[in-house]
């Protein structure tokens, strides 16, 4: 049972631009992100980002500070508070400072850009966010990625690697999904150039222009892919491999984009697929239902294909199985999901 009571209109639940942008900027480990707003906005996000880090076995805390607006600044303006916190951030000598604003700052009309422009000595980069007034979570992610890409030097030569663009850094299995994509690329003899942006230094941003191909986490990042294509002439693939058939398609697409014959890689992956079908043969013929609504259209298609491949009957009276927030990445992701389905089927 879901404990969330959400409205039918999905545009209302697309999250906060601030959180989306923070999920990117806090991955630059030697930079500081300043949230211009009340302390609560920073705390909420700091706690969320901390949770994600710890759950992925990283103990370091996100480099995130607040201008700490109180009622006084909400009434009289918060530019002074931003100015002071920027000075304090600069005194820490970071590689860069990202400035993100909140919905209350948008409401009171602080000129954030002017305060940022007045600073020197350290790159102070304002990223367009304004809480829910700036768009959705995904808007924040895209804006941050484009802003960071804009800081990269275009002069580096190509190194033959592949960039992973816009990983969902708040996703619990972000590293497992990355590992799966890296494994598939390795079947084609390709290596990863840069995880843009996941656990980087500011200086490493420059390497984003050196890849031969960009693999986007999902199609919502196409504006970022287009930006990178325009600036660095790098082609892109619009999403991670989802499900069984999506994995094979991914190998074909990457092979085509890089001029590599994928047949050997596909044959090997088909073997892995067969092994997986054998490992879960015991659930074949069982009746299942999907326990929650699908967050994405793609999700339903991918999961129905997986059910079909494993000869599971999807009917309303079937055993409810958990539906992942995002469809499983690669065959390794399918296996992890099938373990959960098997538990549910046998429950």
Q: For binding to other proteins (CB under 8 A), which residues are involved?
A: 3-7, 9, 11-16, 18-19, 37-44, 46-48, 50-51, 53-55, 59-61, 64-74, 81, 84-85, 88, 102-104, 107-108, 131-133, 137
Rounded to a whole number of angstroms, the minimum distance from the CB of residue 22 to other proteins is 11
Least distance (Å) between residue 41 CB and other proteins: 7
> Do the Cβ atoms of 330 and 241 come closer than 8 Å?
yes
Q: How far is the CB of 13 from other proteins (least distance, A)?
A: 5
| Rg of the Cα atoms in the chain | 22
Sorted by sequence, the CB contacts under 8 Å of residue 232 that are 6+ apart come out as: 152, 154, 208, 209, 211
- Residue 169 or 194 having the CB closest to other proteins: 169
Q: How far is the CB of 337 from other proteins (least distance, A)?
A: 21
CB nearer other proteins, residue 55 or residue 267:
55
Shortest reach from residue 26's CB to other proteins, in Å: 11
Q: Is the Cβ of residue 62 or residue 327 nearer to other proteins in the bound state?
A: 62
Q: 174: which 2 tokens? A: 């972000």
CB of residue 347 to other proteins, shortest distance in Å = 18
Q: Which is nearer to other proteins, 132 or 294 (CB)?
A: 132
Rank residues 133 and 258 by Cβ distance to other proteins and give the closer one.
Answer: 133
Select 37 or 239, whichever has its Cβ closest to other proteins.
Answer: 37
């Amino acid at each position: 049972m879901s404990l969330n009571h959400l409205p039918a209109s999905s545009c209302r639940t697309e999250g906060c631009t601030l959180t989306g942008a923070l999920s990117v900027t806090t991955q630059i480990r030697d930079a500081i992100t300043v949230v211009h707003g009340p302390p609560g906005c920073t705390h909420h996000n700091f706690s969320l980002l901390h949770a994600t880090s710890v759950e992925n076995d990283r103990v370091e805390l996100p480099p995130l500070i607040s201008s700490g607006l109180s009622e006084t600044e909400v009434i009289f303006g918060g530019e002074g508070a931003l100015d002071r916190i920027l000075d304090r951030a600069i005194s820490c000598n970071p590689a860069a400072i990202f400035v993100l604003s909140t919905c209350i700052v948008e409401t009171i009309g602080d000129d954030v850009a002017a305060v940022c422009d007045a600073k020197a000595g350290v790159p102070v980069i304002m990223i367009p966010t304004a809480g829910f007034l700036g768009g959705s979570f995904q808007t924040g992610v895209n804006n941050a990625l484009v802003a960071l890409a804009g800081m990269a030097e275009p002069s580096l030569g190509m190194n033959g690697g592949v960039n992973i663009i816009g990983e969902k850094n708040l996703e619990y299995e972000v590293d497992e999904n990355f590992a799966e994509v890296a494994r598939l690329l390795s079947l084609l003899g390709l290596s990863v150039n840069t995880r843009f942006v996941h656990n980087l230094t500011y200086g490493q941003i420059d390497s984003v222009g050196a890849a031969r191909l960009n693999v986007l986490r999902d199609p919502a990042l196409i504006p970022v892919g287009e930006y990178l294509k325009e600036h660095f002439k790098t082609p892109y693939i619009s999403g991670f491999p989802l499900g069984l058939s999506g994995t094979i398609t991914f190998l074909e697409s990457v092979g085509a984009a890089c001029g590599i014959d994928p047949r050997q890689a596909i044959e090997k992956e088909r073997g892995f697929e067969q092994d997986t079908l054998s490992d879960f043969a015991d659930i074949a013929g069982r009746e299942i239902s999907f326990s929650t609504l699908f967050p994405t259209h793609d999700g339903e298609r991918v999961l129905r294909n997986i059910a079909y491949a494993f000869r599971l009957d999807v009917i309303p009276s079937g055993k409810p199985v958990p539906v992942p927030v995002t469809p499983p990445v690669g065959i390794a992701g399918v296996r992890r999901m099938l373990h959960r389905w098997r538990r549910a089927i046998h429950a």
